[in-house]
Structure 1
Amino acid sequence: MNDVIEIVRMFIPLIVVQLLLMIVALIDLYRRNYVRGEKWVWVIIIIVINLLGPIAYFIFGRKKSNEY
């Protein structure tokens, strides 16, 4: 039982980072007028592809406001 608790403790920082990154990406997506692709697709990517989805959004999905 102690082994399970130790394993869970090891993953807590990763879970916290994942949740924070997901929340920040969703807030940024909500506030942005222009993104590459459809917003609903990015919501699915951010939520379903846990850690890599928000990172992909920040790298590929964000669009500058003067970029059309």
Structure 2
Amino acid sequence: MNTAQIIELLPFLIPLVVVELSLAIIALVHVLRHPNYKFGNKIMWVVIVLIVQFIGPVIYFTLGRGDE
């Protein structure tokens, strides 16, 4: 992939990266502040949120987030 192709994709990539980082940060803050999870523990959810980029935060908010 040359530089012209990368520059051509920037309008698509920049918003995608911003959304992914925002989701990861929000999910990580929530994991660290709340002690209740449907299953698993804090360490497991931190690893999932940080390692499984983009899908990790979505998995946490749909499956792991416990009652407030």
Shorter-chain TM band: 0.7 to 0.9
- In the alignment, which of 5, 10, 18 is matched to residue 16 of structure 1? 18
4+ residue runs of structure 1 moved beyond 6 angstroms?
A: none
Task: Give the equivalent residue in structure 2 for 1:41.
Answer: 44
Query: Is there any run of 5+ residues in structure 2 with no aligned partner, and where?
Result: none
Matches of 2:27 and 2:61 in 1, distance apart? 7
TM-score when scaled to structure 1?
0.85
Task: Give the equivalent residue in structure 2 for 1:31.
Answer: 33
Q: How many residues align?
A: 65
Structure 1 residue 61 displacement after superposition: 0.6
TM-score when scaled to structure 2?
0.85
Task: Give the equivalent residue in structure 2 for 1:58.
Answer: 61
Task: After superposition, give the CA deviation of every residue in 1:1-54 in whole Å (9 maximum; x if it has no partner).
Answer: 322211233211111000000000000111102112111011111011101100
RMSD across aligned C-alpha pairs, in angstroms? 1.2
Matches of 1:30 and 1:38 in 2, distance apart? 11
Matches of 2:56 and 2:35 in 1, distance apart? 19
Percent identity of equivalent pairs: 37
